[in-house]
Amino acid sequence: MLGESIHILSQILQILLLVYLGSTSLYIFIFSLAGIFPYKPKRPADFIKRRIAILIPCYKEDEVIFDVAREALNQVYPKTHYDVIVIADKFEPKTLDRLKELPIRLFSANFKISTKTRALNFALNHLNESQYDVAIVLDADNIMEPYFVAKLNEAFSHGYIAVQGHRTAKNINTHFAILDAVSEEINNNIFRKGHRAMGFSSALIGSAMAFDFPYFKKMMMDVEVVGGFDKEIELRLLSEKQIIEYLPNAIVYDEKVQNVKVFSQQRRRWLSAQFHYFGKHFIPAVKELFRNNNFDYFNKAYQYLQLPRILLLGLLSIITSLSWIINPFWFSVAWSSALFLTTFAILIAVPLKYYNFNTLKALISLPSGFLFMMFSLINIRGANKKFIHTKHTYNAFQIKKK
């Protein structure tokens, strides 16, 4: 009798796990499939040249910031209509002296507790709302393609409050850099291009994004977070039914992590922020769904319930293998279907340029990535409450020109 009760309980738990992981598989499959279809942003509604503030918050980025700032000045856009604004936290005096040689606006800071939101607010407090129409946020390692600002300017002609550009890899020099680059493009296909193709808002990514300047300045006054800065902004926008546009052809190059230690630290911080914001926003999002038909907000809160793809793929592979040994046939088929949907969704979301021998070799590192992600999940508590700096060293001019 006891054995039968345990068996029934184990079956129920397995069904619940199957529903959870299977629904995630179906979700990413649907949006990945949508992402392979063309998504073309609207033509410009006007030809106004908006005044742009390019905000680059940085923390101890002495090695890369000079090249990044200099490159940011090379936009095909009227020089009188955009400013490069560097917020330099804890920089060496010699780096600050070099930056002062460039025609940029420089804010030097030395925060006791350093965060991206604190750096942005420090600059915004010194900028007048009447000075700019649009704020672009970059990371300290980001390099914009020459027409990036012009393309964002066109998008804001349609009255959007927020626009996300296409962030892509600057470097693919190690196995983990390749895996990180591929992961970024999968996210672009599913959570940005695929979502816009189906009428949902694009996900924000923390950089290569732009906002209506007065709106952004006012909103940031109430934002003070250590981790998950982009998620905080995204959820606030969606709760107000603001649409986040995505520009697949507006490119920003971003440095990818080059070793497993940085990969693990970064994912741990992301996981912690993800679950934090799920707990904070899921119930309000459900209420908004029924009260105001706010599908965008609910969709985003539901995303935060899902496991990252590398964990999803790893767990499904393990469970499916075991299922064919110990489970009834229909359970095994169900798990195999979930694994197939996940695998297929990932494969069609990967750009063709990554189907090469180097990517194949990089897959050798995937199992260790899975193990470190599992370790990150176990040690997730408090990761978004402590500032963890990802140091950048990849020179701006090492981008492979196409």
Are residues 285 and 294 in contact, defined by beta-carbon separation less than 8 angstroms? yes
Closest alpha carbon to 35 in 198, 244, 234, 201: 198
Q: Please give the pLDDT value at position 263.
A: 66
For the chain, how many residues are written?
Answer: 402
Q: Identify the bridge partners of residue 109 per DSSP, sorted by sequence position.
A: 89
pLDDT exceeds 80 at position 362: yes
Q: What is the 3-state secondary structure (H, E, C) of the chain?
A: CHHHHHHHHHHHHHHHHHHHHHHHHHHHHHHHHHHCCCCCCCCCCCCCCCCEEEEEEEECCCCCHHHHHHHHCCCCCCHHHEEEEEEEECCCHHHHHHHCCCCCEEEEECCCCCCHHHHHHHHHCCCCCCCCCEEEECCCCCEECCCHHHHHHHHHHHCCCEEEEEEEECCCCCHHHHHHHHHHHHHHHHHHHHHHHCCCCCCCCCCCEEEEHHHHHHHHCCCCCCCCHHHHHHHHHHHCCCCEEEEEEEEEEECCCCCHHHHHHHHHHHHHHHHHHHHHHHHHHHHHHHHHCCHHHHHHHHHCCCCCHHHHHHHHHHHHHHHHHHCCHHHHHHHHHHHHHHHHHHHHHCCHHHCCHHHHHHHHHHHHHHHHHHHHHHCCCCHHHCCCCCCCCCCHHHCCCC
pLDDT band at 401 (very low <50, low <70, confident <90, very high): very low
What residues have CB less than 8 Å from 327, skipping those under 6 apart? 14, 335
Task: State the pLDDT at residue 222.
Answer: 86
Q: Could you tell me which residues are beta bridge partners of residue 165?
A: 247
Domain map (residue ranges) of the chain: 2-37+272-385, 52-257
Nearest Cα to 106, choosing from 159, 163, 68? 68
Nearest-angstrom CA–CA distance, 233 and 239: 10
Q: What are phi and psi of 221, to 5 degrees?
A: -60, -25
pLDDT at 397: 46
Identify the band that residue 393 occupies on the pLDDT scale cut at 50, 70 and 90: low
- Of the spans 338-347, 354-363, 391-400, which averages the highest pLDDT? 338-347
CB 142 within 8 A of CB 65: no
The CA distance from 379 to 305, in Å, is 18
Distance CA 357, CA 56 (A): 35
- The amino acid sitting at 222 is D
Q: What is d(CA 168, CA 356) in angstroms, rounded to the nearest whole number?
A: 17
pLDDT (tens digit per residue) in 9-33: 888 899 999 999 999 999 999 999 9
Identify the pLDDT of residue 120.
Answer: 94
* % of the chain exceeding 70 in pLDDT: 88
- The domain defined by 52-257 carries CATH number 3.90.550.10: yes
In the predicted structure, residue 233 carries a pLDDT above the cut 60: yes
Rounding to the nearest 10 degrees, give the CA dihedral for residues 174, 180, 183, 188. -120
pTM value? 0.89
* Percent above pLDDT 90 for the chain: 62
- What is the structure's pLDDT at 382? 53
Average pLDDT, the chain: 88
